[in-house]
Structures are given as C-alpha cells and as structure tokens.
Structure 1
C-alpha cells in the first residue's frame, strides 16, 4: 500500500528536494522546510491548514498528536509549532520519512517520532497511550480513510474527547465513520473535502461546547 498522498492528474515532479512546506502559525511561523518531490506527495494547502487550525483553536496546546499519513509533515509540524506536547508521524515512503526526520532536527524539535511504516499495520497493533488530536489525510481513492477510522476506534488510539481531522477527495460524499463520533466541521475546497470529528467513548456524554466547534455546512 502506498502511504504517500496522491491527487488525480498530478503533474510530473521536478528533481527531488525542490519543494517546500511553510509553517503558517506558532513558534516556527513562516519557516519554510524542504520536502521530497515524490510522486503523489500532496501537502495540505495553506488555506485549508489555516481553516483547520482556526477550528482547533486552543485544542492543540499540550495535545498528543497522531499524523496517520505524514507526507510532507505539514499538519504535524503545524501542531508542534503551536505547542503540541508530542507528535507521532507515520509515513511509508522512506524518502519522505527521512526528510521529516531532517526537518525536525532543523527545528531542534525532540517532541516527535517518525515511523517509516505502513499505517494500517501500525494501527492494528494498538498503543499504550492514546492521542488527543489525529490527522487522517491518506492517498485519495484507495478507501483508506474508512479503514483508518475503524482501527483508531477499535484499537485504543483515541483519548476521550479526541478530535479527528479527515481529508478526502471531494467526490467522496459518503464516509462511514463510527457512529459515536460527532461531526463538528465540514468544508469543501476544489478537489478536497475536509472534516472534523470528536471521539466520544461510552463514558462521554457531552461534546465540546465551543463556538469554534459548531458544525459548518
């Protein structure tokens, strides 16, 4: 399974290493970091990231973050820049994983771990400590988003009240999400549909009550 981010009719990449990702907020605001120009690598656009982190408001500070399909690392790095406590980043492509490790070293960040591994295989193993904020931005048109949500839900990856961001192709209008996840936000931009959910365990009865987490049509 390819773990990089793909988009239909993507133009041929130029030489490796010529791309960049820009951090848009936090302690590393405006920092630009190199990314591998690998086939299918699709960083979340600045505009989408800005909207997402407006949604998240203060939920990032001190959060444990899981980026299920790391790619350029834009979402995890943005979270760490905004004072997340820890980030685990899973990325299958070796070149992208190595670049992520180098960028973390450049930022002198020791609060992140990069796993060069298959996401679904990692999630099947479960974890010892859950996460507060999870990013699911898989390759398009491979049915990976639904498989990922199910494994997160059943294998103990989510803390009570965890927020889960899902980014999929715009034409995927129906997405099977666990029934006890509450939809908080949803937007569509070009070829991308992106949504925010809140995990509620059987012991959680009330969702987050905050104007930043109202459902958007």
Structure 2
C-alpha cells in the first residue's frame, strides 16, 4: 500500500491507446523531468499510426518512458529506452516491470556513450531531450555517424520554440511539423 506522503509526491501519466490503454506510469513529482503531454503523444502516434506496428523503436532520452511504452502499446515489436539519470531510470524500470513488458529494454546510460557500442538498428527514433541543453544536433549527428537507422526510418524530434536551428541531414525529408506555444514537433523520414 502506498503511504499518503508518497502518494502526494507522485504523478501518473496515462497510456492513451492500444493494448495498454489507460495504464498508468508513476513518476515522482520532484524529479526534473518534462514529459510529453497527452495531446502531443496523441499527435505523434497519429502521425505514426500505420508505421508503428512491428517497428523497432529507440527513445534516446526516455524520461518517463511514455513514448517507448506507448509504442509497445500500439504493437511495436521492440523498444529500447535510454535514460542516464539513476532515479528516473529506477522509476522507468519499475513501470516496465509493473506492466510486465518483455519487449522493452531499459538501459541506464548516457545516449552518446551507448550509441557508440550498439549494433542494433531502429526504424522509429524519438529525440526529445531535456530542453535548453543543446542536445538535438549532437543526437542527430550521432544517429547518422553510428548508422543505426534502418531504411525508411521515421525520426520524431521535439524542441523548445526559441529559434533553435537544427541541422538535418540531406537524406532526411520533413514528413510532418506542428508548432505549439513553447514546443515545435517534427517528424522526418530517412
């Protein structure tokens, strides 16, 4: 049983569709984390609706794990979630275990270290790093340099809306774009 003090200090993030619809992910409120809102997650997965089935997903900066877990809920074959913060990683691991998900691998690592050592390939990539850390361009370069994208991959990028210039490789084609008040969302196809 969860005590009242702990219960006040947690937030729940709902899986919005698929076989895990309405399942709740639990995360501590005091962890420095910015989760993708339900509205944006719904938009992302509408964009990916026919592409997510049987896909191999990579969430470069997992945080709550909502994007990777939502992918599995919508019948992705496999998801790899990278998270370097130990406390966030532990909550993410607990959520994956509570949902009894066997086709998700949660890895505690810095994305830029992990990618240099992986041999896996992915066809859906989520790039949603902590804002104001200038990690998007470095992430894109790392994806290209380490050759982990399958042919016809989709890459979702979420950035803060403050005139950041992202360097997109010539082989990536803009598929969708949506501007919110403080966030810009892109979906590219390689």
Paired residues, what number? 185
Change over 3 Å in CA distance of 1:101–1:188 after alignment to 2: same
Q: 1:101 — aligned with what?
A: 93
The SS at the match of 2:89 is helix
| Structure 2 unaligned residues grouped into runs of 5+ | 1-5
> Following superposition of structure 1 onto structure 2, how do residues 181-196 of structure 1 map, counting pairs within 5 Å?
181-196=172-187
Deviating runs (4+, > 2 A) in structure 1?
14-17, 36-40
Q: 1:35 — aligned with what?
A: 27
Q: Please state how far the C-alpha of 1:108 moved relative to its aligned partner.
A: 1.1
Change over 3 Å in CA distance of 1:66–1:16 after alignment to 2: farther
How high is the TM-score relative to the length of structure 2? Answer: 0.92
Q: 2:3 — aligned with what?
A: none
Q: Does 1:197 align with 2:188?
A: yes
More strand per residue: 2
CA RMSD after TM alignment: 1.6
> Following superposition of structure 1 onto structure 2, how do residues 4-153 of structure 1 map, counting pairs within 5 Å?
18-125=10-117, 127-153=118-144
Change over 3 Å in CA distance of 1:17–1:81 after alignment to 2: farther
Q: Please state how far the C-alpha of 1:129 moved relative to its aligned partner.
A: 2.5
| Structure 1 unaligned residues grouped into runs of 5+ | 1-13, 200-217
The SS at the match of 1:58 is coil
